Structure 1
Amino acid sequence: MTTVEVHSPTKAKRATQPSGGANKSKRGPEQSKPAAAPAGRPDVPARSTKQNRILSLLNQRYGATIPEMMLATDWQQHSVRGFLAGTVKKKLGLDLTSSKSDGELRRYRIAPRRGR
């Protein structure tokens, strides 16, 4: 049987820690603020996630190919395909269509919603 010993900090270490705990974070004031949108472009989101990158590619007029989505996200092919099936189609419930012309790669796009 193995025994494990647990040591607590010594009194000297406890005394050197800052008291009050007002600012326990080691981040500076410039790091604690969320990123702002680039100047002159209020329509651009402050933070671009990989999901947002793929969705913007899929919303383009001609959509996107798997290699284009892989480049935008640094994901492997199976991860992009899983995202399309699991997140885009099932979780978000978007109508994902694909098309393929002779000699070209398959292009995926989100079909625009019809109706009201």
Structure 2
Amino acid sequence: MSDTRKPREHTKLDRILSLLQTGTGASLEEMGEATGWQPHTVRATLTELRKRGYEVTRHTEGTTTVWSVTGGAA
């Protein structure tokens, strides 16, 4: 059963979710800069969002991997 709770406002998880929902998505570096987190922590957070019911997708733009969110918790 997935936990569809939205993150609390003004948290780092909320900040990452906002970046991912911009329509253009965000790179690992952008998410790390926004939170001050190491890459492995950002990737773990993407897994947490998947567990909460968000559809996290990724694609490549040149040499950069970009993640975005579609669907998910209301």
Q: Which bracket does the TM-score occupy, shorter chain normalised?
A: 0.7 to 0.9
How far does the alpha carbon of each residue in 1:23-53 deviate from its partner, in whole angstroms, 9 at most, with x for none? xxxxxxxxxxxxxxxxxxxxxxxx6110110
- Partner in structure 2 of residue 68 of structure 1: 30
- Partner in structure 2 of residue 48 of structure 1: 10
The gaps in structure 2 that reach 5 residues or longer are 1-8
TM-score normalised according to structure 2 size:
0.79
Counterpart Cα distance in 2 of 1:81 and 1:68: 12
1:107 counterpart (45, 63, 66): 66
Q: Does 1:88 align with 2:37?
A: no
> What SS does the aligned partner of 1:67 have?
helix
Structure 1: 4+ residue segments shifted above 3 A? none
Q: How many residues align?
A: 64
Name the structure where strand makes up a greater proportion of residues: 2
Based on CA coordinates, which of the two structures has the bigger radius of gyration?
1
